[in-house]
C-alpha cells in the first residue's frame, strides 16, 4: 500500500460508475430461447429513453433534466453508459481513474419485477454480459454483480457461481419494502461472506414512488427535488436496522458499502444511537457493543452526492466525523446528470485523507483485486 502511494500518480478508485445495456438484444446470447422471447417482447414494449424500463414513476416525479449527462452519450450511438470504450475515453482516462466500479443500472428496473424467477434470470444474464463485455474489455473495470432481492436462495447461488470471476469484487443488492436487517437477506449475506465480497447498497430509484419500496420519513414527497433532498434518510434508517437486528453478530465478516446515501448524517446518527443504547440496552438485545462501533467496523460510504457547500467551516465539519477517514470512498456517479467531477471533489477532501478516500479504503473494503489493473 505504501508503495502505491509513492507512485507518480495516486490511484483513484471510482466506486459508482453505471453501465447500461444498449438494448435487450445485448442479453440474448445469455438467455434460453424461451426467456429470450419473454424479455424481448415484454421489455421492448416498455423501453425507456436510456435503454431500459423506468424505476421511478415519471408521472409522480418529473425529472428537471435528463437522467444522464448529454456529453456521456457514446459516439457510436446508444444510451449513456452502454459503451465500455467510450466510458474509458470519456471518464476513466481524462480523470486518471485506476478502477471504475460498475454498478449496473438495469438492476433498478428489475427491482419492480413481479416475477421472482424472471428477475433472477435477468440478473444472471446481465452479470454474465458485463463480465464478458466490460471486465473482459479493460482491467480498469471492476463489477459489483447484481442479485435479485426477490429470491435470496437463487441470489446466493449466483454469488457462489460468479463470485470468483476476475474483476467481480462485490454484490449489488437493492432494497424494496424489507429493511436491510431482515433475515430474509441472510442467504445473500452468508454467500457474500463466504466469497469475501462486500454488499453494495444503492438507491433503487423507486423509493417514495411505489408501495413496494421504502419511503422517507414523514410521508411521500411532492416533487423530484423534495424527494432527492430527503432520500438519504432511507440509507440512515437501514444502517441502524442492520445493527439493531443483529446482522453483524450473525455475520461478523460482512462489509457493506453505502452508495449515494450520503454520509454527513453519520455525525448525529452515531452519537444518538450510542446514547439511546446506553440508556436502554434491553431494547436491542441482539447487539453486544456500541452501535457506532458496528458502523466503523462494517460500513463504508461513498462521497457522491457530496453536500454542496463552499464555507470552510462546514467543509471541515463534514470531513471531521469520527473515523470518517477510514470509512469514506470516492465516487462520481458517472454518467448521470449529477456526476461529481473527480478533481473538484478530491480537492475538497482534506489532504491528509485523500489517499485513504481515493484508494486505500477501497482496498481495505474490496481487497487488492480492486486494483487489478496495477497488478
Name which residue leads in pLDDT, 33 or 106. 33
Asked whether residue 201 carries a pLDDT value surpassing 50, the answer given is: yes
Name which residue leads in pLDDT, 302 or 40. 302
Asked whether residue 6 carries a pLDDT value surpassing 70, the answer given is: no
Name which residue leads in pLDDT, 344 or 55. 344
* Predicted pLDDT of residue 1: 47
Q: How confident is the model at residue 3 (pLDDT cuts 50, 70, 90)?
A: very low
* Predicted pLDDT of residue 222: 83
- Lowest mean pLDDT of 21-35, 43-57, 269-283, name the range: 43-57
Average pLDDT over residues 30-39: 92
Q: Which domains does the chain have, with CATH numbers?
A: 2-374 (3.20.20.140)
Q: How far apart are CA 158 and CA 197, in angstroms?
A: 13
**Per-residue model confidence as pLDDT tens digits over 67-104:** 888 899 999 998 899 999 999 999 999 999 999 999 99
* Predicted pLDDT of residue 57: 53
Average pLDDT over residues 172-196: 96
| Percentage of the residues of the chain whose pLDDT score is greater than 90 | 70
Name which residue leads in pLDDT, 114 or 265. 265
Give the distance between the most distant pair of CA atoms in the chain: 61
Q: How many residues does the chain have?
A: 375
- CA 90 → CA 18, 75, 101, distances in Å? 13, 10, 15
- Lowest mean pLDDT of 46-60, 118-132, 195-209, name the range: 46-60
* Predicted pLDDT of residue 60: 63
* Predicted pLDDT of residue 8: 65
Amino acid at each position: 500500500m505504501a508503495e502505491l502511494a509513492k507512485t507518480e500518480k495516486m490511484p483513484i478508485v471510482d466506486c459508482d460508475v453505471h453501465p447500461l445495456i444498449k438494448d435487450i438484444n445485448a442479453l440474448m446470447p445469455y438467455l434460453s430461447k424461451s426467456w429470450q422471447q419473454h424479455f424481448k417482447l415484454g421489455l421492448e414494449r416498455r423501453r425507456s429513453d436510456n435503454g431500459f424500463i423506468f424505476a421511478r414513476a415519471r408521472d409522480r416525479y418529473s425529472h428537471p433534466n435528463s437522467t444522464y449527462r448529454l456529453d456521456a452519450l457514446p459516439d457510436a450511438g446508444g444510451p449513456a453508459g452502454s459503451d465500455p470504450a467510450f466510458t474509458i475515453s470519456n471518464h476513466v482516462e481524462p480523470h486518471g481513474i485506476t478502477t471504475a466500479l460498475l454498478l449496473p443500472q438495469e438492476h433498478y428496473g428489475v427491482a419492480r419485477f413481479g416475477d421472482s424467477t424472471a428477475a433472477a434470470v435477468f440478473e444472471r444474464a446481465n452479470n454474465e454480459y458485463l463480465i464478458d463485455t466490460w471486465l473482459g474489455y479493460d482491467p480498469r473495470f471492476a463489477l459489483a454483480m447484481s442479485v435479485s432481492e426477490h429470491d435470496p436462495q437463487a441470489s446466493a447461488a449466483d454469488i457462489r457461481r460468479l463470485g470468483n470471476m476476475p474483476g467481480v469484487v462485490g454484490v449489488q443488492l437493492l432494497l424494496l419494502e424489507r429493511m436491510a436487517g431482515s433475515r430474509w437477506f441472510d442467504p445473500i449475506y452468508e454467500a457474500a461472506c463466504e466469497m469475501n465480497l462486500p454488499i453494495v447498497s444503492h438507491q433503487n430509484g423507486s423509493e417514495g414512488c411505489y408501495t413496494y419500496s421504502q419511503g422517507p420519513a414523514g410521508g411521500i414527497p411532492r416533487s423530484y427535488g423534495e424527494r432527492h433532498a430527503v432520500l438519504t434518510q432511507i440509507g440512515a434508517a437501514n444502517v441502524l436496522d442492520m445493527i439493531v437486528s443483529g446482522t453483524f453478530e450473525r455475520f461478523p465478516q460482512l462489509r457493506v458499502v453505502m452508495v449515494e446515501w450520503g454520509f454527513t448524517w453519520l455525525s448525529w446518527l452515531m452519537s444518538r444511537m450510542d446514547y439511546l443504547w446506553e440508556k436502554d440496552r434491553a431494547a436491542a438485545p441482539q447487539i453486544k457493543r456500541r452501535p457506532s462501533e458496528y458502523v466503523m467496523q462494517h460500513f463504508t460510504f461513498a462521497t457522491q452526492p457530496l453536500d454542496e457547500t463552499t464555507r470552510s467551516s462546514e467543509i471541515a465539519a463534514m470531513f471531521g466525523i469520527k473515523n470518517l477517514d477510514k470509512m469514506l470512498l470516492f465516487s462520481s456517479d458517472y454518467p448521470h446528470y449529477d456526476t461529481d467531477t473527480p478533481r473538484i471533489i478530491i480537492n475538497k477532501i482534506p489532504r491528509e485523507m485523500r489517499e485513504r478516500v481515493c484508494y486505500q479504503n477501497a482496498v481495505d473494503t474490496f481487497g487488492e483485486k480492486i486494483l487489478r489493473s496495477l497488478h
